[in-house]
Amino acid sequence: MSLVESAVATVIVGVMLVAALNTVGAARLGQLNTSNHRCGHLLAQQLLTEILPQSYQVLPDNVDATTGNPLPGRNGLNDLADYDGWIASPPQWPDGTDVAGWNNWTRRVEVDWVDLTNLSQTRNYDTGVRRITVEAWRGQVPMAKLVALKTSTAGLTAAYYALSNDPLSLSDVDFAATPSNTGIASQINQPGTSSPAWPGGPNDYFAVRYNGLVIIPQDGAWTFTTESDDGSKLWIDGQLVVDNDGLHSMRVQSGTVNLTAGPRRIEVRVFERTGSYGLIVSWQGPGINSRQTIPASAFDSGIDRGGF
């Protein structure tokens, strides 16, 4: 990984470690034997360090170049999904041999797609974010649980919804439902059009939700703008920044928020009732003196470029 990739990955893992501790609960941790807890943490961390660089996208497993047979143990694994449901007691080295001296210990892994707006919410479709959970148990007692996130690639995840009702505002859309289609958007820059928002989608009565990370280049006050037909809203780190909801033709609304440099969660929702449809998302802030469409480079967290 490059330095930038490494830094971003560290930030996200750090955030998630806090979330993991909250999940376990401070009271529970206090009851655990400190040395067992540290041992479990080391075991879980070792495995998580192995898993994080693996590909977000599913790849054919690694095989022996001469025999064509799958490599033993975890040496055959090469993507995050390969680790889902993986369990070993005692813990194993990557080649499948037991780690000596840890007979009563178990390590298990779960890999899920989660909703970026609610990291505890798993989804049965590709949200663009995989959550990796590694647990270490001694006997029947959980000693450590580490959680990390990995995003799919550059761009925002788009979830598309064909609506069967007549929407008047975003609150008329069930964004918790399974979407009609999903995709990746490098930017949000759709001027008014009579075309569908996704191939094969309807011309009217639909909604789109974009999720991902936006890299804030500098500390300061950042103004975000949506220009949309019909209504739209924009959130940064779960905070509503732009409210451009309701029925209207292309209309500009903005909001300003103070942010420190680094990756922030961004979510944009839009719906289309009838007539033309459009959505353009732009920003202005330190170093960007006039409103510009957020460039694709700002949505490139660089964590998984596939191939390392």
Interacting residue ranges for Ca ion, rule: CB under 5 A: 59, 61, 78-79, 82, 203-204, 229-230, 275, 277
Q: Min. distance of Cβ 7 from Ca ion in angstroms?
A: 27
Query: Which CB sits closer to Ca ion, 50 or 204?
Result: 204
Shortest Å, Cβ 5 to Ca ion: 21
182 close to 157: Cβ distance less than 8 angstroms: yes
**CB of residue 34 vs Ca ion: minimum separation in angstroms?**
37
Report the nearest approach of Ca ion to the CB of residue 68 (Å). Answer: 15
Specify the DSSP class assigned to residue 112: E
Which lies closer to Ca ion via its Cβ, residue 251 or residue 291? 251
Q: What are phi and psi of 238, to 5 degrees?
A: 85, -5
Distance from C-alpha of 225 to C-alpha of 243, rounded to nearest angstrom? 9
DSSP class of 60: P
Which residues make Cβ contacts (< 8 Å) with residue 99, sequence separation at least 6? 90, 91, 92, 93
Q: Which is nearer to Ca ion, 82 or 227 (CB)?
A: 82
Query: Which residue of this chain has its Cβ atom nearest to Ca ion in the complex?
Result: 275
Cα 121 to Cα 144: distance, rounded to the nearest angstrom: 21
Nearer to Ca ion, 208 or 213 (CB): 208
Strands (E), the chain: 87-88, 105-115, 118-123, 129-138, 141-151, 156-162, 181-185, 189-193, 206-216, 220-229, 232-236, 239-244, 251-259, 262-272, 277-285, 288-293
Structure tokens at 194: 């009579």
Give the rounded distance of the alpha carbon of 173 from its chain centre: 22
Residues 103 and 189: their CA atoms lie apart, in Å, by 56
Between 103 and 249, name the residue whose CB sits nearer to Ca ion: 249
Minimum CB distance to Ca ion, residue 23 (Å)? 28
Distance of closest approach, residue 276 Cβ to Ca ion, in angstroms: 5
Residue closer to Ca ion by CB (options 229, 267) is: 229
User: Which residue matches tokens 């490098």?
Assistant: 186
Rounded least distance, CB 278 to Ca ion, Å:
8
Q: What phi, psi does 186 have (nearest 5°)?
A: -80, -25
Nearer to Ca ion, 142 or 196 (CB): 196
Sequence-separated (6 or more) residues with CB below 8 Å from residue 279:
188, 190, 208, 226, 227, 228, 229, 232, 268, 270
CB of 220 to Ca ion, least distance (A): 34
